Amino acid sequence: MSAADFAFLIAELDTFEWSIPAALVMGGGMGFLVVWAFTRHTRRVAHEQASELQEVARREAAVGAEEIKQKAEAEIQEKRTELTREFDRREIESDVRLREIRAHEESLALLDYHLEQRQERLNREGAAVKQARDAIRALSKSVRKRLEGVSQMDAEEIRKQLREEVLLECQDEIRALRRATLEKSEQELQNEARRILISSMQRIASKPNNDLTATIIQLPSEEMKGRIIGREGRNIKSFESATGVTLLIDESPQMVLLSSFDPVRREVARSALDALVKDGRIHPASIEEFVKRAQDEIDLVTTQAGEEAVAKLNINGLHPEIIKLLGRLKYRFSYNQNVLDHSVETAFLASIIASEVGLDPGVAKRAGLLHDIGKAVPAELEGSHALIGAEFIKRFGETPIVVNAVAAHHEEVKPETVYAGLLILADTISAVRPGARAESMTSYIQRLGRLEKLAMSLEGVQQAFAIQAGREIRVVVSPRDVTDERAQEIAKELRHRIESELQYPSTIKITVIRESRFTETAT
């Protein structure tokens, strides 16, 4: 009942005359109606207030839930980043441990080879002893027979016979003495050469290898990828045209990849892109400006690197163009070995060996530093890096001895001086020392897989296992299908196929196993 209806009802009731009991009843009814109307109004107001409070509570709960969700996402991202860093660190540690294991395996393989050589020498000496024992027995019989006939010989015949015996004995002693002298001289020469090489290698401090990875640029946000691409791709086209580097943008979060065979161009592109991302202004004009600035910085860095290498070796008189080109080797790698560090190490080794054998260490050091400079010459020139490098340094006034040593360090031309042979030796030592050039895990696994697959392709082979880091292959053949003679032929055939079809370091030992097993179970 509304207030207007209630007022109308009161006005109508006023027109009647009431008795006292009727008035009391009527008054009670009116009071009830008033209380009921007031209660209903109060309940409606309370219901509206409760609805408003519920709406406010729902909004506050939604805001709080959103804050909790954002906080949880931030914590998840932080944990993910931390786990990624931990995974990268463990991967690096496992790579380092694998290299150490590989170095130990190489040492064990070398010890096995020395033991086999010693065993063969002992077998030869045992055979020689047996042969000498047989000869002594035969000589004893001969002497006994001659003594039996002495009584029938006169003095002149005895003297002549003794002279012949002494002459034969002296000839045998002279031959034995000559053989012992030659063996001793050869052993002394080998020991002296080994001492010089070990002394030279020990005096060179080995540096850890730099891992070759793709050049990855981290971006602050995904939105930056669109700015790098630009409208209709004009920014990325301008960047690739200015740097000569391919810029790869894929689904990887907040990162892009720079790809180029030229490490100097890749470094220029990396420096320019880093500067562009930090600056935020990415358009063709700014790209050209930052690339030009990065090229100037890299030119300065390469020149400084070349000067530092020359100063470290204390070499004088090098042409500035040679020093500048030498510094570009800082960004080149050969089987994970930095070429500039390899050149400096080769120069030190060549200088030390030259000092040990009485040659000029300055000439050897100069040739060692410049031997790989052809790797920094632009790729447009044809030919091997040794010949290109020799032609380059000859153009800037290097001596014929150094030019020939650089050209001949891979034996593509004939060595004309002893310095060329010394440089070949120093270059080999620096390249093959343990840990200098490590193959990647992928190529290592592929090499083992190819070795086992090659063994399994032979008829009669049941199983093949590559062990000792690929330096031994064990082949299990079927005893029913393969005889002992055929097993020996399989070993020879596998050796020929490995030598002709695979590329591998050091040597590979082949073991063919043919056995029969009979198993019974007692119950």
Nearest to 463 by CA among 415, 512, 424: 512
Q: At how many degrees (to 10) do helices 361-370 and 339-357 cross?
A: 160
Looking at domain 441-513, its CATH architecture is 2-Layer Sandwich (3.30)
Give the CA diameter of the chain.
Answer: 197
At residue 211's C-alpha, the angle toward residues 207 and 213, to 5°, is 155
Contact of 426 with 353, CB cutoff 8 Å: yes
Tokens of 495: 């050796």
One DSSP character per residue, 49-76 reads HHHHHHHHHHHHHHHHHHHHHHHHHHHH
User: DSSP 3-state assignment of 476?
Assistant: strand
User: DSSP 3-state assignment of 37?
Assistant: helix
Neighbours of 163 (CB within 10 A): 10
Neighbours of 248 (CB within 10 A): 13
One DSSP character per residue, 350-386 reads HHHHHHHHTS-HHHHHHHHHHTTGGGGS-TTS-S-HH
Nearest to 209 by CA among 338, 339, 369: 338
Contact of 365 with 380, CB cutoff 8 Å: no
pLDDT in tens, the chain (523 residues): 555 555 555 555 555 454 556 667 777 777 778 788 788 888 888 888 888 888 888 888 888 888 888 888 888 988 888 888 888 888 888 888 888 888 888 878 888 888 888 888 888 888 888 888 888 878 777 766 666 565 555 667 767 777 777 676 667 677 766 666 666 666 666 666 666 665 555 445 444 444 444 577 777 777 777 777 888 788 788 888 888 788 777 777 777 777 777 777 788 888 888 888 887 788 888 888 888 888 888 888 888 888 888 888 888 888 888 888 888 888 777 766 778 888 888 888 888 888 888 888 888 888 888 888 888 876 556 667 888 888 888 888 888 988 898 888 887 788 888 888 888 888 888 776 555 555 555 666 777 888 888 889 988 898 898 887 677 889 999 888 888 888 888 999 998 888 888 876 557 889 999 887 777 777 6
CA 122 – CA 116 distance, rounded (Å):
10
C-alpha neighbours within 13 Å on the C-beta side of residue 486: 13
Length of the chain: 523
Q: What's the burial of 134, exposed, middle or buried (CB within 10 Å: 0-12/13-18/19+)?
A: exposed
Contact of 416 with 408, CB cutoff 8 Å: yes
CA 416 – CA 404 distance, rounded (Å):
7
pTM of the model as a whole: 0.46
Dihedral angle sign, alpha carbons of residues 11, 13, 15, 17: negative
If you ran DSSP here, which 8-state letter would residue 334 be given?
A: E
Contacts of 341 (CB under 8 A, 6+ apart): 207
CA end-to-end span of the chain: 100
Bridge partners (DSSP) of residue 338 are 333
C-alpha neighbours within 13 Å on the C-beta side of residue 262: 14
CA 211 – CA 226 distance, rounded (Å):
31
Tokens of 45: 């107001």
Bridge partners (DSSP) of residue 221 are none
Contacts of 476 (CB under 8 A, 6+ apart): 461, 462, 463, 464, 465, 513, 514
pLDDT at 267: 82
Tokens of 51: 């609805």
Question: Dihedral of the CA atoms 205, 208, 214, 217 (nearest 10)?
Answer: -90
Please provide residue 53's backbone torsions phi and psi, each rounded to the nearest 5 degrees. Answer: -65, -40
pLDDT at 192: 65
Yes or no: domain 215-297 corresponds to CATH 3.40.30.10 = no
Tokens of 24: 């009391």
Note the CATH number of domain 306-432: 1.10.3210.10
